[in-house]
Amino acid sequence: MIIQCIPNRLFGTWAKLGGNHVLFDVNSLVVWQSFDYPTDCLVPGQRLFQGQQLIPSVSSTNWTAQKDLFSLQVTNEGLFAYVTSNPPQVYYDNLRYRNNTNTGRRYIRFLNGSLSLFTLSDEPSDPFELFPIPITSSAQYLKLMPDGHLQVFEWQGSWLVVADLFNGYLGECNYPMACGRNGLCSGTQQCSCPVSSSPRIDYFRAVNDRQPNLG
């Protein structure tokens, strides 16, 4: 994508800086930037603050997936991933601040080589915890997927997954909806439908026999 910057006496100029779309006023001060409004992904250098969240976009391959089913948020305790319910249920909470004595707004930042927890008073020298991510000289982005996975993509002639950050903490069956609605998950994400005690009655059938993970 190419953005052409056209000076304007009233609105100033647009620019694209390292994946960040920025609007400057006539005094070259930033009045709006896309980094402040994350959607489903982060690019290197971008922060996710308390009060913000990543929400996956609708899956292009699983049309039974529910929109806004998952979210990723920073709280006063650390980084949490939620599945939508009332109240929301946590399915990932393993990246926490070691103590809560530091003051300042909490956030995570996607860096080349890590996803790190900070407070405003600590950056850049003292992150609380780290998700190690393969260092790259190419382009990367981090995305919360419609299935609840938090994946890092890297450009290697095409976009490839180079890290799945929750996998070291969650087994495949511990992701909510790993086998879709009403599906049972076992082993290495072997999906099946609940079996009736009566051999004559099937209360459940697969949405798609060729894709049992759809539920």
Alpha carbons 201 and 121: distance in angstroms, whole number: 62
Question: pLDDT at residue 7 above 50?
Answer: no
Average pLDDT for 94-113: 80
**β pairing state of 41-42 and 140-144:** antiparallel
Average pLDDT for 182-206: 80
Average pLDDT, the chain: 80
Cα–Cα separations (whole angstroms), residue 93 to 24, 82, 135, 169: 38, 9, 24, 9
Residue 8 has a pLDDT of 42
Average pLDDT for 113-141: 81
Query: What is the share, in percent, of the chain residues with pLDDT greater than 70?
Result: 80
Q: Which letter does DSSP use for residue 39 in this model?
A: -
| 42-63 per-position pLDDT tens digit | 988 888 998 899 999 876 555 4
- Choice among 37-41, 74-78, 99-103, 152-156 with the minimum mean pLDDT: 99-103
The shares of helix, strand and coil residues in the chain, as percent rounded to the nearest 5, are: 5, 35, 60
| 140-175 per-position pLDDT tens digit | 999 999 889 999 999 999 999 999 999 888 888 888
Residue 163 has a pLDDT of 93
Residue 102 has a pLDDT of 66
Structure confidence at residue 123 as a pLDDT band (50, 70, 90) = low
Cα–Cα separations (whole angstroms), residue 98 to 72, 104, 160: 19, 15, 33
Contacts of 63 by beta carbon, 8 Å cutoff, 6+ apart: none
Average pLDDT for 166-191: 84
Residue 90 has a pLDDT of 92
Residue 35 has a pLDDT of 77
Residue 72 has a pLDDT of 93
Considering only CA atoms, which of 143, 152, 182, 168 is closest in space to residue 60?
143
- Check whether the bond before 38 is cis (ω within 30° of 0): no
Q: How are strands ordered across the β-sheet holding 89-96? A: 53-54, 70-74, 78-83, 89-96
Long-range contacts of 189-193 (CB under 8 A, 24+ apart): 189/213
Residue 1 has a pLDDT of 38
Domains and CATH numbers, the chain: 1-37 (no CATH), 38-170 (2.90.10.10), 179-215 (no CATH)
